[in-house]
Structure 1
Amino acid sequence: MMATPESPAEPLRWNQPDRWIRRQVIPFAVFMGFLLVLQLAGSFFASDLPSAPWWRKSPEQWIYPIQSVACLVLLGRWWRSYEFHWNLRWSLIGAIFGAVGIGFWLLPTVIWDHWQPQGEGWWTGLGVEDRKGGFDPGDYFAVHSPAWFLSLAFRFLRAVVVVALVEEIFWRSFLMRLVSDWNGPYWKQPFGRHSWLAFGVVTAGFVLAHAPVDYSGAIIYGSLTYLLTVWSKNLGACVIMHAVANGLMGIFILYTGKTGLW
């Protein structure tokens, strides 16, 4: 038997599924669309010339902030359409899951620090690499300058708030329901319903949305998130897990200089 609507967001899901679907999917689509814009900018607009301004040398320095603001506007406008069900107990459990999950994600590069294998081998497929040479505002702005702090602040805002909300709403709230009931009114499915097909499809999609070097960490992290989803039945806990994980990874990057993780 299906549950009955219990929160302000649920009547929209039950009675206006088209609007509910759009509000679940559009923020994620906008987020991914800006990544396409970044790729196009890198192909047709970016420049490595020493005389080029920072906004051409590193288009992500201004595309990421615009991406974050655009997604936050959509999320803020549709906030009451999401079934977060914030709960202190599950938020704390989500934070623990986030710390454990990102620990597995970072483990390969920590192993590299202690092993430092030469060349390529089976370890490369597990992400055992140095992970240097990624997003670093210090490459374009004076360290500790206002521009440097602003760039870093937007990077954390994007990772901790925007990514956590956009991805969990799409992967867990929308796609898990869709995969669990392809032929029926999937929007009426309760949040966190277990289905091995949903586990496989959603986890695979989450993994493929990341770079191959992160696949091993993403498989473990995605599996832990699925476990939290079906155990807690709480979208807010999944968002907290993602936010804590990305926040800890950002701190790790600042401490180690492994900007290739971003």
Structure 2
Amino acid sequence: MERGFAVRQPWLPYVAPMATFLILTSLEGWLPRSEGGPHPHWYPLFYTLKAAIVAAVAWACRSAWRDLVPRPRPMGWALAVALGLGVTALWVGLDGLYPQFGASGTRAAFDPGVLPMPTRALFLAVRFFGLVVLVPLIEELFWRSFAMRWIIDPDFLRVPIGRVTPAAAVLTAALFALEHPEEWLPALLTGLAWAGLLRQSRSVSACIVSHAAANLALGLYVLATGAWRFW
């Protein structure tokens, strides 16, 4: 995939990791449940398997990682982190203040406190790897590097990274919101914010760092408060 088919299909290294992640996430709803929640044996095993598979696909598709250059300047890193923390505040602050449409999403609100040690610590390590490293990498390469440019021009490699049009910003933000149906409003606003960061920084790496900061802060908030619906 790295040098063969991906050369003929340049979209593949961006789409394959994201598609793998979404397909496996959709399967979580089919796992056995316990007392109305994710099963404490099956869910940690499945999530670990999902993270391993997605990481393997992302590595096989690492030709897309060339888009991580250029990287932002020091102030750009600071702006990315600050924006990420603002995104976390937005998701938490807007919780329960906007309507829900249709069926809820498939995210598993799993409390790792039901797991014994050291299984709990191992699961949390894997969970935070997925939350802070894997998801920001594959989502930002898909949304801000591939989709943003593809909407501007289907021959997306001709479009420089960091070029953002109003239509591309709004459409990618709307699709990002569809990916997060339970938090569609903060997801929509987040998509617009990261489109703005991409335009300002001309750096996908800045968006990845901002996404990682947001997810890390949200993960720590979840552990501190037990708000597992964000998990």
TM-score, length of structure 1 as denominator length: 0.75
1:174 matched to which residue of 2? Answer: 146
1:38 aligns with 2:23: no
2:68 matched to which residue of 1? Answer: 84
2:105 matched to which residue of 1? Answer: none
Stretch moving more, 21-30 or 215-224: 215-224
Q: Of 9, 23, 26, which aligns to 2:13?
A: 23
Correspondences of 1:1-262 after superposition (within 5 Å): 18-39=8-29, 41-42=30-31, 46-48=32-34, 54-55=40-41, 59-82=42-65, 83-85=67-69, 86-89=71-74, 90-109=76-95, 123-125=97-99, 134-139=109-114, 141-142=115-116, 145-182=117-154, 185-212=155-182, 214-262=183-231
Give the 3 Å change call, closer, same or farther, for CA 248–19 of structure 1 in structure 2: same
Give 1:146's aligned amino acid. P
Give the 3 Å change call, closer, same or farther, for CA 256–180 of structure 1 in structure 2: same
Give the 3 Å change call, closer, same or farther, for CA 135–47 of structure 1 in structure 2: closer
Provide the C-alpha distance between the structure 1 equivalents of 2:43 and 2:167, rounded to a whole number of angstroms.
35
Among the aligned pairs, what percent are the same residue? Answer: 25
Structure number with larger C-alpha Rg: 1
Query: Does the 8 Å CA contact 1:17/1:187 hold for their aligned counterparts?
Result: no
1:120 matched to which residue of 2? Answer: none
Once the 2 structures are TM-superposed, how far is the Cα of residue 199 of structure 1 from its aligned partner? 1.1
Give 2:149's aligned amino acid. R
Q: Give the aligned CA root-mean-square deviation in angstroms.
A: 2.5
| Aligned-partner SS, 2:34 | coil
Provide the C-alpha distance between the structure 1 equivalents of 2:64 and 2:222, rounded to a whole number of angstroms.
34
For structure 1, which runs of at least 5 residues remain unmatched after alignment?
1-11, 113-122, 127-132
Query: Does the 8 Å CA contact 2:112/2:124 hold for their aligned counterparts?
Result: yes
Provide the C-alpha distance between the structure 2 equivalents of 1:24 and 1:187, rounded to a whole number of angstroms.
12
Where has structure 1 moved over 4 Å in runs of 4 or more? Answer: none
Once the 2 structures are TM-superposed, how far is the Cα of residue 49 of structure 1 from its aligned partner? 7.1
Provide the C-alpha distance between the structure 2 equivalents of 1:163 and 1:239, rounded to a whole number of angstroms.
9
For structure 2, which runs of at least 5 residues remain unmatched after alignment?
101-107
Query: Does the 8 Å CA contact 1:177/1:189 hold for their aligned counterparts?
Result: yes
Query: Does the 8 Å CA contact 1:102/1:221 hold for their aligned counterparts?
Result: no
Deviations 1:59-104 (A, max 9, x none): 3312211111112222233334321023352222211111111111
